[in-house]
Structure 1
Amino acid sequence: MDPVPDLELSRVMATTPERIWAAWNDPDAIARWWGPDGFTSTVRALDVRDGGRFDVVMRGPDGTEYTNLYLFEDVDPGRRLAYVHQGSAEWGLAPSRSVVTFDVEEGGSPRTRVTLRSYYASDEDRRRHLEDFQAAAGARQLLERLERAAAA
């Protein structure tokens, strides 16, 4: 049985898993959707495969930069991504793990349910992500932005 995630969000997107997967693999597309509203992102490295890495700098509306490094553990193209965020000593965050799944929804038009599950290292780390950094709202906005990028 899988552990219960600390954060779980789903969004049904009006597009195919292939288009969503393409948005995950294009640094220019990621620059448009990675992060919450008002943030911009610069991709420094992107290699979406088992053992690959995603190195990105997010800039908040106030100009604050957040350097993030993610290591991919388990990648099933167009179906599943599991990665570990390496944490941040600067922001007091321990490494955390996330799993993103892509599930085709039944119906006439293309629809894909994208689910993001995140697992934090401790109760304090969960509190910091969810309260201090508003991770749930940010993740919701990220999924909305991903849908727009994948549909473009």
Structure 2
Amino acid sequence: MPNDSITPDLDVTRVMPASPDQIWSAWIDPTAIARWWGPDGFTSTVRELDVREGGRFDVVMQGPDGSTFENLYLFDTVEAGMRVTYVHQGAPEHGLAPSRSVVTIEEVDAGKRTSVTLRSFYASESDRKKHLVVFQAAAGAQQLLERLEQVAVGGTG
């Protein structure tokens, strides 16, 4: 499994007009995360959300064309309001091995804005290409952070 001491394969940051508490609330509320998890045009059904070390995030994403993507994430590290690391368990049906992601939440401007960074580390060059080229993960991550901002600023629930 790749670790986060190496250069990430995906590195996306967005500064949002929301407090770290607003961002964190959008992360830990199943109703809220369902509204922002995934790229534009996708909907998400949260089957389980347990944001703690050893916890799980089990979600089914549905694409605009109706195709479904089951995703299971296991949380490694959770520092409430500051940092989350998780392992996506992969997608054998798409030939994807497990991958690791690190999300950091950092206060900017005395809490008036927050920088959120998503970094992902893929298991191999083949996985990297599938994520970044075939599944357009960089654009999807940018859209995910834009959607997170909308939910965090607009309130959760």
TM-score tier by shorter-chain length is over 0.9
Shift of 1:106: 2.5
TM-score (norm 1): 0.97
Q: Which runs of no fewer than 5 residues in structure 1 stay unpaired?
A: none
User: Of 90, 103, 115, which residue of structure 2 is paired with 1:113?
Assistant: 115
Q: Which runs of no fewer than 5 residues in structure 2 stay unpaired?
A: none
Residue number in structure 2 paired with 1:133: 135
| 2:50 maps to amino acid | D
The alignment of Structure 1 onto Structure 2 pairs a total of residues equal to 151
- Does residue 64 (structure 1) correspond to residue 71 (structure 2)? The answer is no
User: Of 28, 35, 39, which residue of structure 1 is paired with 2:31?
Assistant: 28
Shift of 1:70: 0.1
Q: Which structure 1 residue ranges, 4+ long, deviate > 6 Å from structure 2?
A: none
- Does residue 54 (structure 1) correspond to residue 57 (structure 2)? The answer is yes
Residue number in structure 2 paired with 1:7: 10
Residue number in structure 2 paired with 1:17: 20
Residue number in structure 2 paired with 1:142: 144
| 1:70 maps to amino acid | Y
2-structure distance, mates of 1:9, 1:129:
14
| 2:22 maps to amino acid | R
Structure 2 counterpart SS, 1:90: helix
TM-score (norm 2): 0.94
